[in-house]
Amino acid sequence: MIILALDTSAQAASAAVAKDGYLIGEITVRNGKTHSQKVIPMIDSLLEMLDYKPEDLDLLSVANGPGSFTGLRIGVVTIKAMAYALNKPVVEVSTLMGLAYTVNEPDGLVCPIMDARNRQVYTGLYRTGDGSVSVLHEDSGMALDELISILKKYDMPIHFVGDAVPLYKDYIKDQGINARFASDDIFTHRAATVAHLAWLMQNNGIVTDAFHAVPNYHRKSQAERMRDMLSRS
């Protein structure tokens, strides 16, 4: 099975192709260009380098959130359009699960944290290792202090990863948690992990299609929050 995966949920735009669960190619770009400028050229270049045509793909996968509202829309819409045109199935992968999977640590737990502004984070809690991943706390958006209260219940190492680590690393260190921190230069959003998780998920029958794939924002946009506030005033 040949899988094309895409992750445009954060600053990095990443595309990968895996065959039968093994990565065979990946392109990840972090520069000033918008994801809308990067994604299609990245996919075209990757398939060309691997001597594949779009018709050779068996499955399409995408990191569907949480993350940047614009980035998520670009990634999901791109995969939806390809899936519709090629009549291929889709697997939606949690952005946070994909991020957690970059830290393949059997020692302790992995807590991805993405900045949601105003001391809020997108987060979840995972156990990874030996090529598998399990969910201990479902993905959600919450205040940082609420997350700290949850994590204090676990008497084991907790590996933090994500773009909120540089923002809150020092604060987390002071909270009495056995915290370890992954470098964002290495453990960043990667389509390779999305592809591998999609492989595991489709083996368990977790598959959708072009019509049902949607971004999972986990919170309303700023415009929606402002509209709701004005409607109550």
Domain locations in the chain as residue ranges: 2-95+189-220, 103-181
> What band does 71 get if pLDDT is binned at 50, 70 and 90?
very high
Tell me what pLDDT residue 183 has: 85
At 141-186, the pLDDT tens digits run 999 999 999 999 999 999 999 999 999 999 999 999 999 999 877 7
The token pair that represents 64 in the structure block: 């569907």
**Residues 85, 11, 60, CA angle at the centre, nearest 5°?**
25
Is 192 in contact with 18 (CB distance < 8 Å)? yes
The token pair that represents 5 in the structure block: 């995966």
| 158-161 and 179-181 strand pairing | parallel
pTM of the model: 0.91
CATH class entry, domain 103-181: alpha beta
Asked whether the predicted pLDDT for residue 30 surpasses 50, the reply is: yes
* CATH superfamily, with its number, for domain 2-95+189-220: ATPase, nucleotide binding domain (3.30.420.40)
